[in-house]
Structure 1
């Protein structure tokens, strides 16, 4: 059964809900989520929202911290807008009734996290800021918003000449296909953390939005930059969930099994060094055969300050009373994604992207802690303003593009999720080499990369579509990592150990038509954006 709307949003995280809130009340808006509305990375986010609301802080300082953490691989103007508009967005959120954690005198309780030079992290419910923020927006969701759960958006419906996105196809667990049509299709489906064996992400984060856009012909940028969170709870060879960076901000220290502090001699900020540095040191310590722990014995009233972490440890039989939490790094955030302009427009007319699915240029080579929820608030609002300003689109149907071949379930069933995770970690994990990357790319090409991007997916079930999308994202990340012959931010090459001047400002842009390496001071102008 087909459905028509004014705006269709794929995804249900903070960016999606913020967008829905600010769209004009006359629009019929449909939010599509392949699981449940509360099963998003935003909902489980333990960190807070970075914003300049303290008079002792400054926008300039927030911008500088963001640029340093991301190794100056940003659209600098966009970073400035993120910091300045973000402060206003957070104040607007508080004014709408959002309850933030406060000190005894009523002033906001501002936390400190890695690579920040000032206390500017706003929390709600201690380490449950994501859940509290999403619940706040859900409680106030306008009546013009319809939420449809349990349907996976898996393919963009394109005009016959493939220049315009007209809608999306979805599939439920029973295999039923539906088509949703709208002049504005927004991808806000999150990142691709599930392609790695250890991740802080929901297991459903298989890079759907990025793969959909790539197959539709959109440009994909900076996929080599995958942030690994330093501290995931690590039990019996598996990660069990995130240990918020705010724990280190409150005084937690990383130690090896002998009690020796890992970060003291590595970086001036010690345990609050940028995430790529901290994750690397933990990885190296573990590679040398030593277990790593987060020492929380100096943090008073830990259970009160970090109820989510406490509950996670209790569920996994890790006694908080001993003060040592076993940790290991895992994939956390994708700085790359679908190329967008300042408003969230992609290079395909009618198709937009916001949140972690998008490459907005604000995170550079390594995202600054707590800038992700801020990005969702800012770009959700900004895209709403853009769509609200557009002339009402004609809703007539056009003749659409169709794939000549449909991929068969039996071929997709041969793909292994677990094998891909292991191979991706070896090739494009925390440490990368030319040999491992080239080998993994050849493996993916032999498995059928061209078929994954040139065949329809109507005959596949949801599990097999996810596996195809995981393989596509693994390819995009690995190829970009192979091409970038330097180490910068979260991208670490043992065969190219330093930041190279000739790679400064250059971006690797991938489409189904080929690869472009862009550079210079005017990258934004060189990206063809359809308004």
Structure 2
């Protein structure tokens, strides 16, 4: 066989970097919209990495907590795989230089977060885990001669021949067309950029999901969007600052405008209840005009300000003194449990296409992701994808014909409208009337010459909303006011194609 085709990894967050490293020394083309390495949402992750390292813990217990948080739709085999493989993956990263925080004995310090039955969250630099993890992986990628970085490069679409993915169409930094041949890995992150209030960067516009959808890949659980309960409630920002769940794990308490702690009346685990429960409890109050605050003082007394350096810096940046008074919080779109359907090796329904990280739906998160499982999933499945892809000879990929320059003004308008509609209709609580209204509004936004981000966001918004309309029950992060209870027939993954969902969207609109 001729020299194998490079594997095209799209995305430079934790999953993409882990996959690229697992592929080495095979040739890799790492494609990212970012300027340099370390793009996406991973660097912003303040929470840690969930891993069963404690003496009173086990992978079985970690998997059981993952199942419980996922509200009946987690794949038990994949949860067990994640918990077991995660231990080896974190230990491997320790050897490679990940600077985990240590306790007095020198062992990795273990924290606790919502819905975990044990202290099993490791951190690096306090609440800087995502940033330090990405820096560690980026350093290793930069040192690998087999990985070629294509940064400031926009992925446009998958090249497909006879139902098989054979490459990627993209635009380079100068706007010139770029065609790459080889198997493709989508590690493009989630959908936070579809919402007006999100903890993720605004360029998280569901690019991988949209490309896979257009190519005909099977998708799953698109309606399952997790809203983080405690984003800092400040106006005028593209990305709301996150107040990590580790704060509540260390003792921070949610209070209402009268200073009363209210979560004990909402759930037996109070402030450490599953994220969907906490987010809705806060969301109901905020929607009724009742501000909610997070009192950080118990957490700061327990761990000191050095335990939360990023939180302390962002609070100072926005004029808050957490020692003086509690700080205002609001729910914000945070993580997509759905995505491109994959198996336990990251294989999609299309030969030649893999997915990992938030872009994928492996079945490990179910209807509600367990806190701090996301970075672990990125590491474990990034490696599994890299180890699974066979060497193949490159095939010729036809270049795309020239297209007119996009309409930047129309694209900005479409993105703003998508975010408004999704926040209003596809937020913490949904109903058929609102979802149908959203689909009608989204249908009216379709326009020629959109930028790739705007076109991807619009398509993904229609798919997510149609999936939410189809799922006539409430489960985990998906709450239907007109179907407020779980339905046994829906205790499964919701597997669809874009064609099926767009038929639903058109009928509803």
Same fold (TM over 0.5): yes
The 5 A counterparts of 1:24-423 are: 24-25=24-25, 27-36=26-35, 37-141=37-141, 142-159=144-161, 161=162, 163-172=163-172, 174-182=174-182, 184-236=183-235, 240-299=240-299, 300=301, 302-387=304-389, 390=390, 392-397=391-396, 409=407, 413=411, 415-423=413-421
Q: What are the superposed Cα offsets for residues 181-236 of structure 1, whole Å, 9 maximum, x if unpaired?
A: 11x11110100101101111011101001001101111111000000000001124
Q: What are the superposed Cα offsets for residues 117-164 of structure 1, whole Å, 9 maximum, x if unpaired?
A: 1000011110001111111112222221111211111211121x3x11
> Offset of 1:383 from its aligned partner?
1.0
Distance 1:378-1:414 versus aligned 2 partners, 3 A rule: closer
In structure 2, the partner of 1:503 is 490
Equivalent position to 1:436, from 434, 440, 447: 434
Q: What are the superposed Cα offsets for residues 93-127 of structure 1, whole Å, 9 maximum, x if unpaired?
A: 11223221111121221010011010000111100
Distance 1:404-1:465 versus aligned 2 partners, 3 A rule: closer
The CA distance in 1 between the partners of 2:342 and 2:117, in whole Å, is 29
Distance 1:398-1:426 versus aligned 2 partners, 3 A rule: closer
> Offset of 1:5 from its aligned partner?
4.7
- How many aligned positions are there? 495
Distance 1:485-1:279 versus aligned 2 partners, 3 A rule: same
Does structure 2 retain, via aligned residues, the 8 Å contact 1:509–1:515?
Answer: no
What is the DSSP-based 3-state SS (H/G/I as helix, E as strand, rest coil) of the residue aligned with 1:178? strand
What is the DSSP-based 3-state SS (H/G/I as helix, E as strand, rest coil) of the residue aligned with 2:108? coil
Does structure 2 retain, via aligned residues, the 8 Å contact 1:220–1:509?
Answer: yes
Equivalent position to 1:473, from 439, 443, 460: 460
What is the DSSP-based 3-state SS (H/G/I as helix, E as strand, rest coil) of the residue aligned with 2:363? coil
In structure 1, the partner of 2:507 is none
In structure 2, the partner of 1:527 is none
Does structure 1 retain, via aligned residues, the 8 Å contact 2:337–2:361?
Answer: yes
> Offset of 1:305 from its aligned partner?
0.9
In structure 2, the gaps of 5 or more residues are 505-509
The CA distance in 2 between the partners of 1:30 and 1:408, in whole Å, is 26
> Offset of 1:167 from its aligned partner?
1.3
> Offset of 1:415 from its aligned partner?
4.5
Cα RMSD for the two superposed structures: 2.3
What is the DSSP-based 3-state SS (H/G/I as helix, E as strand, rest coil) of the residue aligned with 1:431? coil
Distance 1:268-1:345 versus aligned 2 partners, 3 A rule: same
The CA distance in 1 between the partners of 2:466 and 2:99, in whole Å, is 44
What is the DSSP-based 3-state SS (H/G/I as helix, E as strand, rest coil) of the residue aligned with 1:418? helix
Does structure 2 retain, via aligned residues, the 8 Å contact 1:10–1:153?
Answer: yes
What is the DSSP-based 3-state SS (H/G/I as helix, E as strand, rest coil) of the residue aligned with 1:104? coil
The CA distance in 2 between the partners of 1:472 and 1:242, in whole Å, is 27
TM normalised by structure 1 equals: 0.89
Distance 1:419-1:446 versus aligned 2 partners, 3 A rule: closer
> Offset of 1:54 from its aligned partner?
1.3
In structure 2, the partner of 1:526 is none
In structure 2, the partner of 1:424 is 422
Does structure 2 retain, via aligned residues, the 8 Å contact 1:508–1:515?
Answer: no
The CA distance in 1 between the partners of 2:125 and 2:406, in whole Å, is 47
Does structure 2 retain, via aligned residues, the 8 Å contact 1:508–1:516?
Answer: no
The CA distance in 2 between the partners of 1:306 and 1:399, in whole Å, is 50
The CA distance in 2 between the partners of 1:175 and 1:45, in whole Å, is 31
The CA distance in 2 between the partners of 1:281 and 1:358, in whole Å, is 28
The CA distance in 1 between the partners of 2:381 and 2:76, in whole Å, is 16
What is the DSSP-based 3-state SS (H/G/I as helix, E as strand, rest coil) of the residue aligned with 2:344? coil
The CA distance in 2 between the partners of 1:386 and 1:504, in whole Å, is 30
In structure 1, the gaps of 5 or more residues are 453-458, 518-531
> Offset of 1:320 from its aligned partner?
2.5
What is the DSSP-based 3-state SS (H/G/I as helix, E as strand, rest coil) of the residue aligned with 1:321? coil
> Offset of 1:514 from its aligned partner?
5.6
The CA distance in 2 between the partners of 1:413 and 1:307, in whole Å, is 37
The CA distance in 2 between the partners of 1:222 and 1:236, in whole Å, is 31
